[in-house]
Amino acid sequence: MMRTRPLKVALLGCGVVGSEVARIMTTHADDLAARIGAPVELAGVAVRRPDKVREGIPQDLVTTDATALVKRGDLDVVVEVIGGIEPARTLITTAFEHGASVVSANKALLAQDGAALHAAAEEHDKDLYYEAAVAGAIPLIRPLRESLAGDKVNRVLGIVNGTTNFILDKMDSTGAGYQEALDEATALGYAEADPTADVEGFDAAAKAAILAGIAFHTRVRLDDVYREGMTEVTAADFASAKEMGCTIKLLAICERSKDGASVTARVHPAMIPLTHPLASVRGAYNAVFVESDAAGQLMFYGPGAGGAPTASAVLGDLVAVCRNRLSNATGPGESAYAALPVSPMGEVVTRYHISLDVADKPGVLAQVATVFAEHGVSIDTVRQQGKDGEASLVVVTHRASDASLNGTVEALRKLDTVRGVASIMRVEGE
């Protein structure tokens, strides 16, 4: 049974992702109509530069007035692929007010204002879908929000930024330093001219906030996510990792505490064993591990960015939202009923790999070990290397809180025999 009145879709933004969404809507129109149960029609495209020629998009659909477009009142769905906070936020809420549901790929906005946007959607009885906001084409939001809706998720651990994974993979495989690997990523188009959002972990932190919120049925904002970039990872760190049978990845980690009463979310570089499936995620690919009570360990892997993969996720959401419109229903909205407190980084418990430059004389190891013991941080292994009156100590700890580790390091720095703390890196995935 095909309904003949088409569903009207407006596109906000027509860059790499938007143009691909428009292209697929045109070239796969019959498939989309069959899957939705009604044809979909591109009703308008809001752009910044109206004079640019866009293949396959009729010029009379193009407008620079995005506000007027979302206020038309006859739209079924607004697809927002502008990115950034404003004007995206105002356009989305205006779209809800004027009767449209929204599909967005905007991780920054959802991480910052997800709760308010969900509330606006609910107030107007509309859908807000955003599979494309996290890990591009990889289905993650829908599996967490729907497939695991009857399970209890305890941990989400993943590589959710392709740019930094490309850089770290390059450093690992070639021995290159950070700057050299970044330059190659920039030359190949994997890194933007200003790579700050990627390399400082802001992009991954936004995704961690979104994933943690859905996984734990708790509001988690960008500000709740501990964030450490990967610009200070060195070739020496990779050498240390190799000695431990590990590699280094920038990880987003969302965890429920052992007693289940709180959660944490964080982004930082970490060593993971080469035997862990995340260790073999190459280039700009993304992969996310999800651990839950009943399902156990699941992994989702695929291209985390790019025009076509992101468009695939947007269109999957578009089909779902259109189906919901036809049956006068809405999909699952925000689920924040658990309202668990988000603990600060100090309460995160993990293992650490610490490299110290120390004086090469008797008794240093005993001094260092005493400091660890005094702070309740238990040592797993120590390796001592001496050369020319200088020596290095590599300590790998058992699980300890971040606060205890920080206290330990502060005390170590005060020891006369410790010349410097060369590196501290967390060890995950064991």
Tell me: is residue 18 an annotated ligand-binding position.
yes
In angstroms, give the least distance from the CB of 296 to a copy of itself: 5
- Residue of 207, 242, 361, 414 marked catalytic: 207
Q: Which is nearer to a copy of itself, 89 or 217 (CB)?
A: 217
H helices present in 144-300, as ranges: 162-174, 178-187, 196-199, 202-216, 235-243
**CA–CA distance, 332 with 317 (Å, rounded to integer):** 12
Tell me: is residue 19 an annotated ligand-binding position.
yes
Q: Which is nearer to a copy of itself, 239 or 299 (CB)?
A: 299
Residue 297, classed as helix, strand or coil, is: strand
**Residue 126 is among the residues annotated as catalytic for this protein:** no
List of residues 6+ apart from 144 with CB closer than 8 A: 153, 156, 211, 214, 215, 290
Tell me: is residue 368 an annotated ligand-binding position.
no
Eight-state DSSP code of residue 337: T
Ordered strands of the 40-46 beta sheet: 62-63, 40-46, 7-12, 77-80, 101-104, 128-129
Tell me: is residue 21 an annotated ligand-binding position.
no
Q: Which is nearer to a copy of itself, 274 or 422 (CB)?
A: 274
Instruction: Give the chain's largest Cα–Cα span.
Output: 86
Tell me: is residue 376 an annotated ligand-binding position.
no
**CA–CA distance, 242 with 178 (Å, rounded to integer):** 17
In angstroms, give the least distance from the CB of 349 to a copy of itself: 24
Tell me: is residue 14 an annotated ligand-binding position.
yes
- The encoded tokens of residue 238 equal 């990779």
Site for a copy of itself, rule CB under 8 A? 20, 24, 28, 31-32, 34-35, 131, 137-139, 142-143, 146-152, 217, 277, 280, 292-303, 306, 308-309, 311-320, 323-324, 327-330, 332, 335, 337-338
Q: Which is nearer to a copy of itself, 151 or 180 (CB)?
A: 151
Contact 376, 382 (CB under 8 A): no
**Kind and range of the H or E run holding 50:** none
In angstroms, give the least distance from the CB of 407 to a copy of itself: 37
- Helix 29-36, helix 307-326: angle, nearest 10: 40
In angstroms, give the least distance from the CB of 85 to a copy of itself: 26
Q: Which is nearer to a copy of itself, 181 or 322 (CB)?
A: 322
Cα first-last separation, the chain? 52
Tell me: is residue 17 an annotated ligand-binding position.
yes
Query: At 30, phi and psi to the nearest 5?
Result: -65, -45
CA distances in angstroms from 33 to 7, 30, 275, 316, 318, listed in the order given: 9, 5, 45, 13, 11
In angstroms, give the least distance from the CB of 151 to a copy of itself: 4
In angstroms, give the least distance from the CB of 134 to a copy of itself: 12
Q: Which is nearer to a copy of itself, 153 or 358 (CB)?
A: 153
CA nearest neighbour of 399 among 419, 427, 424: 427
Eight-state DSSP code of residue 278: G
Amino acid at 146: E
Contact 22, 45 (CB under 8 A): yes
- The encoded tokens of residue 204 equal 């991954």
Tell me: is residue 312 an annotated ligand-binding position.
no
Residues comprising the binding site?
Answer: 12-19, 107, 192
Which residues are designated catalytic?
Answer: 207
Binding-site residue set for L-homoserine: 192
Binding site feature residues for NADPH:
107
Query: What residues are designated binding site for NADP(+)?
Result: 12-19
